[in-house]
Amino acid sequence: MQAATGAALASAALVSAALVSAALARAKGVAGRSVLFMGGTGFIGPHMVRALLRAGCEVTLFNRGRSNPHLFPGLRRIRGDRTTADIEQLAGTRWDVIVDTSCYLPRAVDLLMAAVDRDALQQYVLISSVLAYRDFSRPGLREDAALARMDEDPQSEDVSRYYGPLKAQCEQRAELALPGRVTRLRCGQIVGPGDSADQFIYWPQRIATGAEVLAPGSGDGLLQLIDARDLADWVVHCIDAGLTGPYNTTGPPGRYTFGDMLQLCRQRLNPRAQLTWVPADFLARQGIAARTDLPLWVPPDAPDAGAWQIDTSLASAHGLAQRPLGDTIVAAHDWFQTLSPQRRGTLKAGISARRQAQVLAAWHAAQGA
C-alpha cells in the first residue's frame, strides 16, 4: 500500500475549524428567508435544517412523517406524500427557497413546480448525485460531462435500477421549470453522524471492535467522501451567494485513498487493531465482492473507478470547505454508539464478523502453505 496517509493527514490539517464554519459565517444574507424543505428528517436533511435554522431561515418541512418524526418539534410541518394529491397542500404557496433532499422521480419535480408559486421562488436547491453522469470509465468528470439516459425504458420509475438517470431527469425538469434558478448539487458518497445505511460506519465499527480486520486489495484506490455537515453548510452558502447551476459536491479527488481511511479509523479508534491486506483476486476466489461485501472498496482497475475521481474544483472555488476525514470518522462512530446494542450488532452492509474470520483464516492458511 502506498504511504499516502501522512500526506493526506497533512493536507487535511489545513482545513481548520474556521474554514469548516466559513459558510455559515457568510450566511448573514439568508436570515429571514422562507424555506420549504422537502424531506428534512432522514440522514442529510436534519443537518441541513439545523444549518438553515442557525443562519436564521424560517423553515417549513414537507414530508411523510415516517423518519424521525420527533425531530424539530417547533417547526411547521406539512404531512404528505409528494407524489400524490397530498402535494396540493402547497397549492399557491410562496417561498423564497426550496431545498429538496427527497426527489427521486422527475414527476415529483413536475408536481412540486405545479403547486407552488414559481414567480415568488428565488432558488430551488436540488440534491442530485454524481450517478447522474453517464460514463465513469475515466477520471476527472466535470459538470459538463454527459448525463445518464434511459433509452431502453424511458418511462420507468424504478429508482433501484435507474437511480442515476432519474436524478438526471429531475435536474432537467427543474431547470425547465425555473431557468437559471436551480442549484443542482451532484453529491458523491455522503457520510457522517446519522448515516444509517452502514456502508461507511462498517469500517469504523469493525476496526473499533476488532483485533484483526480484513482490509481488501492494496489500499491504493482513491476515495471521495463528503461529511453531511459540510454539505449542509455549503447549501446555506449557495443560498446566501445565489449560486445556481450544477456543482460536483464530494471530496476533493486524490486527497484520500481507501487505505488512508482505514488507517485513520485505526489511529483514531483502535490503534491496537491489525489491518490484514488481502489481494483482490484471493477475495474473488472466496466469493467476496467489492462494494457489497466490503463497502466503499473499489479496486483501482475497476471499469467505473472514475466515480471516485470526480472533479470538484468548481464547488471548491465557490467555497465548499471540508473537515478532516478523521473528524468525520470519530463523529460517525460516536453517533453509532448511541444506538441500541442490537442495532450496533446488526450492520446493514458488509460481511459478518464470522465471515471475516473465515476469509482471514483461509488467507493465513494459503500464506502458510
Residue 37 has pLDDT above 60, yes or no: yes
* Assigned domain for 265 exists: yes
Is residue 163 domain-shared with residue 305, that is, in the same domain? no
Residue-wise pLDDT for 317-339, tens only, equals 999 999 999 999 999 999 999 99
Length of the chain: 369
Contact 103, 182 (CB under 8 A): no
Mean pLDDT across 82-103: 98
Q: What is the mean pLDDT of residues 2-9?
A: 39
Range of the domain at 264: 202-224+254-310+322-368
Cα–Cα nearest to 125, from 240, 217, 235? 235
pLDDT of residue 171: 98
101 with 176, same domain: the answer is yes
pLDDT at 13 over 90: no
Asked whether residue 234 is domain-assigned, the answer is no
In a shared domain, residues 137 and 273 = no
In a domain, 361, yes or no: yes
**Are residue 219 and residue 362 in the same domain, yes or no?**
yes
- State residue 43's pLDDT score: 96
With 60 as the cut, is the pLDDT of residue 151 above it?
yes
Task: Single out the residue of 206, 157, 173, 167 nearest to residue 188, CA to CA.
Answer: 167
The answer, yes or no, to whether residue 23 has pLDDT greater than 60, is: no
Which CATH number is 54's domain given? 3.40.50.720
**Mean pLDDT for the stretch of residues 12-34:** 54
**Is 245 inside a domain boundary?**
no
pLDDT score at 302: 87
Q: pLDDT higher for 1 or 105?
A: 105
Q: Are 172 and 206 in the same domain?
A: no
pLDDT digits (tens, 9 = 90+) for 120-136: 999 999 999 999 999 99
Q: Do 176 and 209 share a structural domain?
A: no
Q: What integer is the mean pLDDT of 27-42?
A: 89
Segment 255-282 mean pLDDT: 97
User: Same structural domain for residues 131 and 207?
Assistant: no
> How many domains would you assign to the chain?
2
151 with 209, same domain?
no
Q: What is the DSSP secondary-structure string of 261-303? A: HHHHHHHHH-TT-EEEEE-HHHHHHTTPPBTTTBTT---TTST
Enter the DSSP assignment of 86: G
Residue 327 maps to a domain: yes
Tell me: do 279 and 181 sit in the same domain.
no
One domain for residues 170 and 67: yes
Secondary structure (DSSP) of 6-58: HHHHHHHHTS-HHHHTHHHHTGGGGTT-EEEEE--SSSHHHHHHHHHHHTT-E
pLDDT at 305 over 90: no
In a domain, 13, yes or no: no
Residue 343 belongs to some domain of the structure:
yes
Calculate the average pLDDT of the chain: 92
Residue 283, domain member (yes or no) = yes
- Interval 167-221: pLDDT, tens: 999 999 999 999 999 999 999 999 999 999 999 999 999 999 989 999 999 999 9
Q: What is the CATH number of the domain that holds 291?
A: 3.90.25
pLDDT score of 7 more than 70: no
Model confidence band, residue 368 (pLDDT cutoffs 50, 70, 90) = confident
Predicted confidence at residue 28, as pLDDT, reads 54
**Together in a domain, 182 and 86:** yes
Residue 207 and residue 180 in one domain:
no
